[in-house]
């Protein structure tokens, strides 16, 4: 799918360049805001050993279970673009965007009609988006265009906030997962409308597709019954060790990994733990509205 879209985009651009001789070299700047809905739903990764399920228990027994799926591709984005037109038809853009997803439930447990456990995740990210733009011609002030490019996250994280009801009181925990480097894909269909000599309004429908693997995780917040949970002594059932507070993710585990399952005899709770990397989807379809200023 991605290869076909890229091939189509480059083919159209090549044809337009061969048939376009007149120049319209210019710089332009765009500011806009977007709202995305999720494009594809996948199963969320496990959260601290709990699978992405909604469990309903009655009298301590499991009454029902359903898998929780979704995408962090739903949310708001704000950003700007710098563009340069080589000709009437062809240009390039570089976008910089800040994205904040909607909060998504990843794990949930209902005990006797009371929510006993819930983990909710939210993605915050800053990305660069270089793209190739094909302008399709102006008519009555409107100028439609298409755009294909890539998404390169430069900073971001997945925050998972967990609230649980325990015998020792309410427990709150905040995990922050940093991502491995990745690249995504975007395709846009848009149009601008001339408001003045240099000012235009624009609207875009954008499809983006990329997944992100975890690099490491840190527990940044932990309270038990409102008090500091990090200071709980060893032996307390809610004590968390250094190996749980800091985790490094990888593609495999072996007998040298600091993991209870693969290295039970060498497992060291005073050092960061090791675990398998999982991934999340940030695919979505969005509408962007904004203003464009041309030099």
- Tracing tokens 């673009």 back to the chain, one arrives at 81
**289 Cβ neighbours under 8 A, 6+ residues apart:** 32, 33, 34, 201, 202, 203
Q: How far is CA 232 from the centre of its chain?
A: 33
Residue (of 115, 11, 122) closest to 76 by Cα position = 122
Which CATH architecture group holds 2-11+24-294? Beta Barrel (2.40)
Which 3 state secondary structure label does DSSP give 12?
helix
Tokens of 285: 């379809």
Which 3 state secondary structure label does DSSP give 254?
coil
Alpha carbon distance 114, 250 (integer Å): 36
Beta strand 246-250 pairing with 273-276: parallel
DSSP secondary structure, 29-54, as one string: EEEEEEEEEES--EEPPPBTTB-SEE
Count of residues in the chain: 295
Instruction: Look at residue 199 in the predicted model and tell me its pLDDT.
Output: 97
Q: What string of pLDDT tens digits covers the 295 residues of the chain?
A: 444 444 444 444 444 444 444 556 799 999 999 999 998 888 899 999 899 999 999 988 999 999 999 999 999 999 999 999 999 999 999 999 999 999 999 999 999 999 999 999 999 999 999 999 999 999 999 999 999 999 999 999 999 999 999 999 999 999 999 999 999 999 999 999 999 999 999 999 999 998 899 999 999 999 999 999 999 999 999 999 999 999 999 999 999 999 999 999 999 999 999 999 988 999 999 999 999 999 9
**3 Cβ neighbours under 8 A, 6+ residues apart:** none
Q: What residue spans define the domains of the chain? A: 2-11+24-294
Alpha carbon distance 54, 62 (integer Å): 11
- Phi, psi angle pair for 242, to nearest 5°: -60, -35
Q: What is the DSSP letter of 257?
A: S
Residue (of 244, 263, 104, 130) closest to 188 by Cα position = 130
């Amino acid at each position: 799918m991605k290869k076909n879209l890229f091939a189509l985009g480059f083919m159209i651009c090549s044809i337009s360049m061969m048939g376009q001789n007149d120049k319209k070299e210019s710089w332009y700047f765009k500011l806009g805001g977007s709202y995305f809905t999720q494009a594809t739903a996948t199963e969320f990764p496990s959260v601290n050993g709990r699978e992405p399920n909604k469990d309903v228990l009655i009298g301590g027994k499991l009454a029902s279970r359903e898998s929780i799926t979704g995408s962090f591709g739903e949310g708001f984005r704000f950003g700007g673009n710098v563009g340069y037109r080589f000709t009437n038809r062809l240009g390039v853009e570089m976008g910089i965007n800040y994205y904040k997803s909607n909060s998504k439930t990843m794990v949930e447990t209902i005990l006797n009609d009371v929510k006993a456990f819930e983990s909710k995740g939210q993605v915050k990210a800053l990305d660069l988006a270089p793209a190739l733009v094909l302008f399709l011609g102006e008519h009555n002030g409107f100028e439609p265009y298409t755009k294909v490019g890539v998404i390169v996250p430069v900073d971001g994280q997945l925050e998972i906030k967990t609230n649980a009801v325990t015998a020792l009181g309410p427990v709150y925990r905040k995990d922050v997962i940093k991502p491995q480097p990745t690249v995504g894909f975007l395709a846009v269909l848009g149009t601008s409308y001339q408001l003045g000599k240099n000012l235009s309004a624009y609207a875009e429908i954008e499809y983006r597709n990329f997944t992100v693997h975890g690099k490491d995780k840190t527990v940044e917040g932990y309270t038990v019954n409102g008090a500091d949970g990090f200071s709980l002594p060893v032996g307390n059932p809610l004590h968390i060790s250094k190996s749980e507070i800091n985790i490094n993710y990888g593609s495999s585990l072996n007998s040298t990994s600091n993991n209870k399952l693969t290295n039970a005899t060498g497992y060291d709770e005073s050092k960061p733990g090791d675990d398998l990397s999982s991934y999340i989807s940030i695919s979505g379809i969005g509408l962007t509205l904004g203003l464009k200023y041309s030099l």
